[in-house]
Amino acid sequence: MKKLLVILLLASGVYACTGNRMASVVSPRFAGGSYEDSLRFIYSQDPARWPLPDVRTGVRWNELAALPHRDTDTGTAVVRLGKLLFFDPRLSESNKISCASCHQPELSWTDGRERSLGHEDQSNKRNSPTILNSWFYTSLFWDGRSRSLEDQAFSPINSETEMHSDMPTVIGKLRKIEGYVTLFREAFNDEGINPETLTEALAVFQRTLSSQPADFDRFLSGDRKALSDEALRGLHLFRTAAGCMNCHNGPLLSDNGFHNGGLPVSTARRADQGRYEFTKDSSDIGRYRTPSLRDVTRTGPWMHDGSIRTLDSLPARHLAAQLRPQQVSDLIAFLQSISADPPVFRRPALPQ
């Protein structure tokens, strides 16, 4: 097998050694073997020995990796309380909108809409992203205006177009519900019901929500048949010619940064200047947080404005490279390999 690898390196003429890594592959091929056989051999190595990805000069990147293992105790009193609050529409003025209205477990914690609907069916100007893996991000919302899940929880409650309420009103409501008085006491002892315990409970619950292992994780764990030939070609294309790893890298396939994806800043419906609206830095006009691609096939429509409605439109709209139809299919196959079937999630009965 090692001899075959030497033949591969010499025959392809496209490698340059860089430490223990190899420069990006254009067309790896075993002597007498198929392109897919070559890829499967290369990517069956430890990821530290994979070809270097094609990224722009100066881009800081992390190699693709399996989902990190997280020990989350979903049975604690705080998690149970946060779950109830997340699904409770009484956090809104109308008593009709809950956090789960825009982040539905059945839809991989999105709402399936181009833009989310809020108070009195008002359309918000941005798409509701999934809250899976929200523990990973160093900033939240498309524009990164919140630095923690606790801080983030204030925003929809106080938003005119979302829950259309305010924290004093919500706290007053909860203090009148006997079931919540007991639950807050169990979770926070004598701290009671206040903005800090409310937002902490919501944040702790959301930190328990993670993507499930997918075919790509099984491939990395040693199941070399977990990826189809199409997905394997897509993996290689993702890392090389398509340039996806400039923004989507690491185990969650996000660099935790902000980028301009090339969509128009102003539309006929509503102007949206992205991160600039928070930072007031002109270089942030049109920049949005890089979403994780984990479970991406289940979280459409895509982009900050929900303007991409089909998976095959995503590579064509988002990539500078001119991709052939087969390459688009290969990329989609890889995206499917990092998307897992969600576990069954039961909505809770709310306290009275």
pLDDT score recorded for residue 313: 86
Segment 197-214 shows an average pLDDT of 97
pLDDT score recorded for residue 18: 40
Segment 219-237 shows an average pLDDT of 97
Domain boundaries, the chain: 1-52, 77-206
pLDDT greater than 70 at residue 298: yes
Identity of the amino acid at 190: D
pLDDT score recorded for residue 32: 56
pLDDT greater than 80 at residue 328: yes
**What distance lies between CA 74 and its chain's CA centroid?**
21
pLDDT score recorded for residue 245: 96
Backbone angles phi, psi at 276, to 5 degrees: -55, -35
DSSP codes of every residue in 300-332 = -SBSTT--B-STTHHHHHH-SS---HHHHHHHH
Among 84, 112, 78, smallest CA distance to 99 is for 84
Segment 149-173 shows an average pLDDT of 95
pLDDT score recorded for residue 266: 54
What is the distance between the alpha carbons of residues 139 and 136, in angstroms, rounded to a whole number? 9
Confidence at 25, pLDDT banded by 50, 70, 90: very low
Q: Which two tokens stand for residue 165?
A: 């309420």
pLDDT greater than 50 at residue 12: no
Tell me the pTM: 0.88
CATH superfamily of 77-206: Cytochrome c-like domain (1.10.760.10)
- Asked whether 105 and 345 are in contact (CB, 8 A), the reply is yes
pLDDT digits (tens, 9 = 90+) for 238-283: 999 999 999 999 999 999 999 997 666 555 445 789 999 999 999 9
Q: 3-class DSSP state for residue 248? A: coil
Segment 43-58 shows an average pLDDT of 96
pLDDT digits (tens, 9 = 90+) for 70-113: 878 888 999 999 999 999 999 999 999 999 999 999 999 999 99
Paired sense of beta strands 17-18 and 21-22, if any: antiparallel
Q: Which two tokens stand for residue 75?
A: 């049975």
Segment 224-238 shows an average pLDDT of 97
pLDDT greater than 90 at residue 177: yes
Confidence at 20, pLDDT banded by 50, 70, 90: very low
Q: Kindly report which listed range (73-77, 196-200, 327-331) carries the lowest average pLDDT score.
A: 73-77
DSSP codes of every residue in 77-145 = HHHHHHHHHHT-GGGSTTS---HHHHSBGGGTTB-SSSS-B-GGGPBPSS-----TTGGG-SSBSTT--
pLDDT score recorded for residue 4: 41
Q: Nearest 5°: CA angle at 291, between 287 and 295?
A: 160
